Structure 1
Amino acid sequence: MKNYVQHDATALAALVSDGELDPAELLEAAIERAEATNPAINALSQKLYDHGRAAIAAGLPEGPFRGVPFLLKDASGELAGHVTANGARLLSKGAPAAIDSHLVERYKAAGVVIFGKTTTPEFSLAASTETSLTGATCNPWDRARSAGGSSGGAAAAVAAGIVPAAHGSDGGGSIRIPASCCGLFGLKPSRARNPSGPLVGEGWGSLSVSHVLTRSVRDSAAMLDATQGMAPGDPYCAPPRVRPYTEEARRDPGRLRIGWHVAPMSGAPVDLPCRKAAEDAADLLASLGHDLDVISLPGEVEPLQKALWVLVASNVARSLHAVGAKLDRKIKRADVDSVTWSAISDAKNMSAEDYAEALFQIHAQTRSMADLHSRYDAILSPTLATLPPPLGVQRTDTDDMDAYRAALTGFTPFTQLYNMTGAPSMSVPLGWHHPEKSQSVLPVGVMISADFGREDILFRLAGQIEAERPWFDRLPDLAARKECA
């Protein structure tokens, strides 16, 4: 297929619906691109080409994305008959999933053709996708740099033009971080907007939620329309949407009150390109008629960082204990990467009171942020504090945990707040940095967040920004190569 990369998922689905394109032809175009580009970026952890071909042969449902090639993150989305490795050597040879997750059921009902899984750091415990199982996933814009994480493989695959949209999950920024690194639109929905079951009720003690990384706002909106809503057994739900998100993305947002800041709660330094991207975005939004105020975030960072780690470490440890029970043995140090072992070890020293205190802290912060959101429709900040880091800085098999933690907190001090509050948050590709003595261009994301359940505000604002500062045709050289078109 010619000009595959020039279409988003919505456009490809329209070509299929109009009979101008056959799903089988479209899948082979995606496979061709995967074979041409993946060796350079290492975005795919599992090639499920025959699974995709079989799905087409069996007949696709008449969903909004019928025939569109799609990739699952190798975490947070079970696909029946295939292993979910979570970036871990221990699980990579395990038993295949017996059933689809509720989210994957909805992806299939939407008509997408799943033909692979994307790389992720072990148990999603890093903001860069580098593990002992799959190696390093490279940023298509600069292959010496990270694609981000933990949905780094998904972001690299979309940025390289393998697919127009890919599944990701976000428990501390894992959709927004790689979206910023790779020049994509990445929205973390409200807590429980998409289902997590049936194998779990919530991800990481309510911190994690799944959605997609895309090149267009309308693809993200339409995909959330297809997947949102409670599933049987969900422990709680997000407020119901007022109208389809595809409609919201086309609506005028009106005159919004927007608070903005460039300093993270932690006080970590923020590199000039990241500050400048947020400042330029504030100027753009003011020019579009919105009211902007400089703000400071409420809360204290140390108790929140501790609470976050208690929830993450204890949930990772519980998952691994369940794996050990299936294997009929204890998990050993040699089974997992260093960062995962650190989580297991720390969890052994955490009490039930520690877990209750962690929940108390994030609930208190949620109330403080709700007060801020009562005064502002949206909050603007940099997505990240630095440009995409060089590969090797945030490997999960590192022997230097202090350096790893410093690299993580210095890189991404903004995103975790909205995992704690459960509020929707998006990274929008508005900055484009030209490093000195380099021919490369590096994307820089700007993060905009709204109150719990208010994805409608974010989609309206994203649609307005996209119309004013379009980014769809900005592609890395890897995606634009003629031999891959």
Structure 2
Amino acid sequence: MDVREYAAFDGLGLAELIRTGQVAAAEVHEAAMEAIDRANPELNALVGDRFPAPLAHTVDGPFGGVPLALKDLILHAADVPMQAGSRLLGPGVTLSYDTDLMRRFRAAGFAALARTATSEFGFAATAEALVNGPTRNPWDLTRSPGGSSGGSAALVAAGAVPVAHANDGGGSIRVPAACCGLVGLKPSRGRTTPGPDHADPLLGLGVEFVLTRTVRDCAAALDAVHGAEPGDRYLLPPPQRPYAEEAVSDPRRLRIAVTTDPLLGDTTVDSSCRIGAEAVARRLETLGHHVSYAAPVIDAESFGEANCVAWSGFLAAEICDLAAGAGVAMDAQHLEATTLACVEYGQSLTAMDVFAAQNTFNDITRQVAAFFTEYDVLLSPTTTRPNFALGELDANDTSLDARGWHDALFEVGTFTGLFNATGQPAISLPLHTSPQGWPVGVQLVGRYADEATLLALAGQLERAMPWADRRPSVHVSH
């Protein structure tokens, strides 16, 4: 199998070739390793070298032998270093066990081949950590692939791997999906397990999953890894039928709300993002859905304050423990300026501050849930701009305090962060193109625990407005 042939298939396509004996798994892995080696010099998407051979995996899982990349944050594999995008951890922390989701990836048959770049501890809408340097967008090497799952997004978009791990605490799956022209689902809180290291990452904001090029890979991956582990805080109802079946079935007639106005604050929304969402809204009407313009009304200032508390408190707790364990100082030699500012703010918080943030999230969640009694889905742009220039979001800007950095990020992610607080599933789809030829993401948000409706609608839109023939300028098949 050569690289061009390899890159033509999504994950399920490769799994079918292996399962039916049309190609050996080893041939797929060789092609994947060559593809990664071709793409990475231009993208700088890897952390360290790719693995010399795939990590151990179950050969007869639904993705038996399919290449996977692992974001270098939260999830970890036994005996594989994790650096979390930070100089604080030196060459990385190596643990002796898999996280629960990593174990599920192996059981699904995913063959992990590399670690991918992230921002420092994931708190940025880009992947330009000082420890790794900037990761570049394969659509335009002067632009960011988004973040914090930027390395994963760049590799998938460039055809190097069909699926990559990602996580999302404010848009870190959906923002890079939008910037790189991918499918990015943030599942409901509790749909995928954060164990055993965490119970409720970021006061419940953080969720783990993957980035893909096709809706069917996204759905099948969720089938393979969803569900709670003993000790998890949440036990969600299982789907009534496999998500993969939903993705190939048209949904019922849905009540869809549409907004192109920022959900959090008064950030300017680029015309390409507005036009893209409006075009999808019109197409949904032709598909038989009831579409109207409406959106939940949120107190943006209260949300921003609570969100900054959640992020800063989590960063302070994690980084203080890691620094103590590594025996290093929390200073400018080991942490970027905005990370250090967030840690210092997090250390100043009291238990009352944290409970106040949780109370704010509770109030907002109930307001948004009431809105979703009237609508099945909310449609919006994913981001305020198709992408942004490298260097624009400078995590080492010493002039920014914790709230200043938080607000700079939410100028990009005004449409995404709300649904980390409410716990609802949200998916970004590459349904539009900007005048510059860049992909433009459109976000669909569903009711809590209703990934089934989102994936059915996403599959319908993929068939009605296909994107499979769009490829970036940096692609392993070129």
Q: Give TM-score scaled by structure 1 length.
A: 0.95
1:124-135 matched pairs, under 5 angstroms? 124-135=122-133
Compute the displacement of 1:97 (Å): 1.5
Matched, 1:415 2:416: yes
Give the aligned partner of residue 392 of structure 1: 391
Distance (Å, rounded) in 2 between the aligned partners of 1:5 and 1:168: 20
Distance (Å, rounded) in 2 between the aligned partners of 1:367 and 1:51: 48
Amino acid at match of 1:8: D
1:5-16 matched pairs, under 5 angstroms? 5-16=7-18
Distance (Å, rounded) in 2 between the aligned partners of 1:159 and 1:454: 27
Give the aligned partner of residue 67 of structure 2: 69
Which of residues 461, 464, 478 is equivalent to 1:465? 461
Compute the displacement of 1:125 (Å): 0.6
Distance (Å, rounded) in 1 between the aligned partners of 2:294 and 2:25: 49
SS at match of 2:309: helix
Distance (Å, rounded) in 1 between the aligned partners of 2:223 and 2:229: 14
Structure 1 pair 411–329 and aligned structure 2 pair: CA distance change class (3 A): closer
Which of residues 152, 162, 175 is equivalent to 1:177? 175
Compute the displacement of 1:411 (Å): 1.6
Distance (Å, rounded) in 1 between the aligned partners of 2:451 and 2:17: 28
1:403-482 matched pairs, under 5 angstroms? 404-405=405-406, 407-435=408-436, 441-479=437-475, 481-482=477-478
Compute the displacement of 1:481 (Å): 4.3
SS at match of 2:459: helix
Deviating 4+ runs (over 4 angstroms): 402-406
Give the aligned partner of residue 244 of structure 2: 246
Give the aligned partner of residue 151 of structure 2: 153
Superposition RMSD in Å: 1.4
Give the aligned partner of residue 119 of structure 1: 117
SS at match of 1:387: coil
Give the aligned partner of residue 140 of structure 2: 142
Distance (Å, rounded) in 2 between the aligned partners of 1:355 and 1:405: 17
Give the aligned partner of residue 291 of structure 1: 290
Distance (Å, rounded) in 1 between the aligned partners of 2:128 and 2:388: 12
CA distances 1:337-394 after superposition (whole Å, capped 9, x unpaired) = 1121011111122111110010001111111111111110000011011121110011
Question: Structure 2 stretches of 5 or more lacking a match?
Answer: none
Matched, 1:325 2:327: no
Structure 1 pair 62–104 and aligned structure 2 pair: CA distance change class (3 A): same
Compute the displacement of 1:157 (Å): 0.4
Give the aligned partner of residue 352 of structure 2: 353
Distance (Å, rounded) in 1 between the aligned partners of 2:177 and 2:64: 25
Structure 1 pair 357–31 and aligned structure 2 pair: CA distance change class (3 A): same
Q: Verify the 8 A CA contact 2:330 2:340 in the aligned structure 1.
A: no
Distance (Å, rounded) in 1 between the aligned partners of 2:155 and 2:476: 13
CA distances 1:307-331 after superposition (whole Å, capped 9, x unpaired) = 0110111011100111133134553
Q: Which moved more, 1:21-30 or 1:180-189?
A: 21-30
SS at match of 2:251: coil
1:218-233 matched pairs, under 5 angstroms? 218-233=216-231
CA distances 1:208-263 after superposition (whole Å, capped 9, x unpaired) = 10111111000000001110000121122333222110011122201000001111
SS at match of 1:259: strand
Q: Verify the 8 A CA contact 1:128 1:395 in the aligned structure 2.
A: no
Q: Which moved more, 1:181-190 or 1:296-305?
A: 296-305
Compute the displacement of 1:407 (Å): 3.7
Distance (Å, rounded) in 1 between the aligned partners of 2:239 and 2:13: 24
SS at match of 2:204: coil
Give the aligned partner of residue 334 of structure 1: 333
1:176-325 matched pairs, under 5 angstroms? 176-265=174-263, 266-325=265-324
CA distances 1:97-148 after superposition (whole Å, capped 9, x unpaired) = 2100000000000111101010000000100110111100111000100000
Q: Verify the 8 A CA contact 1:148 1:181 in the aligned structure 2.
A: yes
Q: Verify the 8 A CA contact 1:47 1:115 in the aligned structure 2.
A: no
SS at match of 1:334: coil
Give the aligned partner of residue 37 of structure 1: 39
Distance (Å, rounded) in 1 between the aligned partners of 2:412 and 2:447: 24
Distance (Å, rounded) in 2 between the aligned partners of 1:480 and 1:235: 41
Distance (Å, rounded) in 2 between the aligned partners of 1:131 and 1:137: 9
Number of aligned positions between the proteins: 473
Q: Verify the 8 A CA contact 2:88 2:328 in the aligned structure 1.
A: no
Q: Which moved more, 1:307-316 or 1:197-206?
A: 197-206
Q: Verify the 8 A CA contact 1:129 1:136 in the aligned structure 2.
A: yes
CA distances 1:184-209 after superposition (whole Å, capped 9, x unpaired) = 01000000100001111122111010
Distance (Å, rounded) in 2 between the aligned partners of 1:215 and 1:355: 38
Amino acid at match of 2:32: A
Q: Verify the 8 A CA contact 1:125 1:339 in the aligned structure 2.
A: no
Q: Verify the 8 A CA contact 1:321 1:330 in the aligned structure 2.
A: no
Q: Percent identity?
A: 40
Q: Verify the 8 A CA contact 2:39 2:476 in the aligned structure 1.
A: no
Which of residues 81, 94, 97 is equivalent to 1:83? 81
Distance (Å, rounded) in 2 between the aligned partners of 1:199 and 1:245: 27
Q: Verify the 8 A CA contact 1:185 1:215 in the aligned structure 2.
A: yes
Matched, 1:110 2:108: yes
Structure 1 pair 352–260 and aligned structure 2 pair: CA distance change class (3 A): same
Q: Verify the 8 A CA contact 1:83 1:92 in the aligned structure 2.
A: no
Q: Give TM-score scaled by structure 2 length.
A: 0.96
Q: Which moved more, 1:133-142 or 1:386-395?
A: 386-395
Give the aligned partner of residue 438 of structure 1: none
Q: Verify the 8 A CA contact 1:259 1:379 in the aligned structure 2.
A: yes
Q: Verify the 8 A CA contact 1:84 1:92 in the aligned structure 2.
A: no
Amino acid at match of 1:432: T
Q: Verify the 8 A CA contact 1:67 1:111 in the aligned structure 2.
A: yes
Q: Verify the 8 A CA contact 2:83 2:93 in the aligned structure 1.
A: no
